[in-house]
């Protein structure tokens, strides 16, 4: 079982360009999340989806958009990248919202915006 996968592993992007970070899970989890991780700041939630067809804004949503057309995929799009979006991006999923439902994390995408 692959679990949760992300692509690409890393990317260097010119400022002003657009990019989509891909995330796919095969655990049939309802909830999916996108975080960014920056040194000294920890993981911060960008967007989330509690179930297919719905999305919501997290703590730092500006400059990012998401879609959730089906259960497995949750792509994150940067419409016009800026250097402050240089970060490591983690996708995560969980089987439920409450109780002992931990989040499972993908391997991450390291993005550098120049």
Q: Specify which residues 32 forms β-bridges with.
A: 49, 93
Q: Please, what is the minimum distance in Å from the beta carbon of residue 107 to another protein?
A: 5
Does 105 engage in binding with another protein (CB under 8 A)?
yes
Q: Which is nearer to another protein, 65 or 103 (CB)?
A: 103
**Are the beta carbons of 77 and 101 closer than 8 angstroms?**
no
CB of 18 to another protein, least distance (A): 25
In the complex, what is the shortest distance from the CB of residue 63 to another protein, in angstroms, rounded to a whole number? 19
With CA atoms as reference, report the closest residue to 87 among 113, 106, 55.
113
Question: Segment 21-80, which members bind another protein (CB under 8 A)?
Answer: 33, 35, 40-45, 48, 50, 58-59
Binding interface with another protein (CB under 8 A): 33, 35, 40-45, 48, 50, 58-59, 90, 97-100, 102-108
């Amino acid at each position: 079982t692959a679990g949760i996968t992300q692509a690409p592993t890393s990317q260097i992007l010119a400022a002003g360009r657009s990019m989509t970070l891909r995330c796919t899970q095969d655990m049939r989890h309802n909830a999916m999340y996108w975080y960014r991780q920056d040194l000294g700041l920890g993981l911060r939630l960008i967007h989330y989806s509690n179930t297919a067809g719905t999305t919501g804004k997290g703590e730092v949503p500006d400059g990012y958009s998401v879609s959730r057309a089906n259960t497995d995929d949750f792509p994150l799009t940067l419409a016009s990248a800026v250097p402050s979006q240089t970060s490591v991006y983690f996708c995560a999923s969980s089987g439920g919202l409450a109780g002992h439902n931990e989040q499972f994390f993908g391997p991450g995408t390291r993005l550098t915006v120049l």
